[in-house]
Structure 1
């Protein structure tokens, strides 16, 4: 933003301090002058009866003028020094801001001293820089991982086409089937990336959504997949309404249930889908049996393209964006996502969302 030049804050503080000192000096001189001369109610001037009054007045006026000049000099010099000391923290913050605009987000102010307004501002700025640095690093990792994930199916397709071109007598049925599978995976990945991008924008019209209906629809959709994997899918819960996008909340629930099915035991697995209504929040809980999960793996499950390879089957592995999408949908709805490993193996995922007033339109929607 272009602005016309003006006085610096330091000069403004200096002039303000000097002006205050001058006003205080004038008031003091006026008070001293009144001590030597009083005015009666009828306007008659009463002079204090001292024989040396006239000499005091002659000497007082020049001394008063000299005092005012000294006060002006003292106010300007003292005000300049004090303003510089007071504005020193602002200079540090300004320097850090300039470094941040050049892309250097690793710099921190770390202002020493006791807590005050300037140090509170510096600490807040350091916290903002830390969040920005972490966000930029996450975006860079995401871009690199997305490029790698998108390149993989293209490279596989290219390799299969090269083999087919070198061996034209080879049956094409197997090639077509493999190309179809690779292409389907590329489409799934692209759609997941688009969904994650739309979720990041958070642009939707909120509506009252009954999570119990969303859970029922998600369970019905994924029931064939659960039967295919020999997984028992159980649902429970009562009316539990929140405010948000029904489509996104359905995607959230579907992702959680899908992950719980494919990341389960090879035989006799169980997935429990439960919806609970609390006074201030609604809870959606998806719990599944499975192999034990290490704390290191648990901490990375919500990051994009982190699939938890030791828990994944060879089929229906997904594209590694399921929980990342769940996390972002939860955030744009003002909720919290928590993951907890089960003692005997498997995972318990809980989504807590703000509670909305129960209405009849929620059941009908």
Structure 2
């Protein structure tokens, strides 16, 4: 039967277990302490006892008699200390290492794929309790990330499957009906493929933002906001939306490409999810006290339920309560990409529904000194 470190005499790799090492350490400490005590007795007591036979009948106490009487008792005491140190050290080490055994068991379960198990250590807050709490916190975050990635993978598969299925259907129809207008089929295939490419690029961008391994440079959020607004101005004009950029410089350090995509996604969402006509979008940048650069995007629109707002940054959540058209329905990755980019830059993202309707999105990033 294989023994595990902390329980048996040898660890999984054939070396001494931590429990046996501690037990041997305790026994060795007691043996050394006993030896030092005997040395003190010899140095400060026996050396002053005369080594001759004086007194009545020549049997008065002397060094020879005391040594021969003391040596067996000292040897027995040393043996007792050694055995007591081994047994006591073994039991004490087992009690001290019991929390580590629980943490090791939780780690093995996590390694086998079970992330719902927790150590759940109670009692006095010591080093083992702190280690247990930190391990439980790590498992909780890991379980949350794994569940999020699984949900994202399932949604991504579904979203990518839809345009592929539509393309196959269009090709099947064109093959079975040669008299069908080929121009119409080609135009629909082009639109479906464009959507699939856009979705794939969004997924790649989302993954790139999550990795946070991009080169960084000094960036001014006000310039990116103006560029995003200039790019989306034709869309806003077609929808009758007034687009305004205000504020001053807001310097930060990061990826100019990712931060431009962040600003573009926020402005595009604000334009698309707005009133049918006569709406407004305000983009504002500034530097706050405390070393923070801020980008705010505020738009008009219908009132948003408070319980809907926290879900808007989840992948493939399109905010069904907001106004949009099929032309710009998107894949539901806009705010998910924004959250990913903000998190990769060490910033904070806040979404708040406006009382009069619409949404206020605030991005805070570390300011460049």
TM-score, with structure 1 as normaliser: 0.91
Q: Please point out which of 165, 182, 191 is paired with 1:181.
A: 191
**Does 1:232 pair with 2:266?**
no
Which residue is 1:140 aligned to?
Answer: 150
User: CA-to-partner distance for each residue in 1:48-68, whole Å, 9 max, x for gaps?
Assistant: 999434544432221111111
Q: Is the 1:37–1:47 Cα contact (8 Å) retained in structure 2? A: no
Which residue is 2:281 aligned to?
Answer: 271
Distance in 2 (CA, whole Å) between partners of 1:203 and 1:28 is 62
User: CA-to-partner distance for each residue in 1:163-203, whole Å, 9 max, x for gaps?
Assistant: 33333333344333322222221111111112112222222
Which residue is 1:26 aligned to?
Answer: 35
Q: Please point out which of 310, 313, 316 is paired with 2:321.
A: 310
Distance in 2 (CA, whole Å) between partners of 1:10 and 1:265 is 70
Q: Is the 2:302–2:323 Cα contact (8 Å) retained in structure 1? A: no
Where 1:243 maps in the other structure, the secondary structure is strand
Q: Is the 1:18–1:74 Cα contact (8 Å) retained in structure 2? A: yes
**Does 1:351 pair with 2:363?**
yes
Q: Is the 2:297–2:361 Cα contact (8 Å) retained in structure 1? A: yes
Which residue is 1:361 aligned to?
Answer: none
Where 2:120 maps in the other structure, the secondary structure is coil
User: CA-to-partner distance for each residue in 1:215-253, whole Å, 9 max, x for gaps?
Assistant: 111111111111111111111111211001111110100
Q: Is the 1:335–1:352 Cα contact (8 Å) retained in structure 2? A: yes
Gaps of 5+ in 2: 1-11
Q: How many residues align?
A: 350
Which residue is 1:215 aligned to?
Answer: 225
User: CA-to-partner distance for each residue in 1:240-267, whole Å, 9 max, x for gaps?
Assistant: 1100111111010000000000000111
The CA RMSD over aligned residues, in Å, is 2.0
Aligned pairs for 1:104-253 within 5 A: 104-253=114-263
Which residue is 1:259 aligned to?
Answer: 269
Q: Is the 1:284–1:351 Cα contact (8 Å) retained in structure 2? A: yes
Distance in 1 (CA, whole Å) between partners of 2:280 and 2:309 is 20
CA shift, 1:318, in A, is: 1.2
Which residue is 2:5 aligned to?
Answer: none
Cα distance 1:59–1:159, how it changes in 2: closer, same or farther (>3 A)? same
Q: Is the 2:246–2:283 Cα contact (8 Å) retained in structure 1? A: yes
Which residue is 2:299 aligned to?
Answer: 288
Q: Is the 2:304–2:321 Cα contact (8 Å) retained in structure 1? A: no
Which residue is 1:329 aligned to?
Answer: 341
Gaps of 5+ in 1: 40-44, 358-365
CA shift, 1:317, in A, is: 1.1
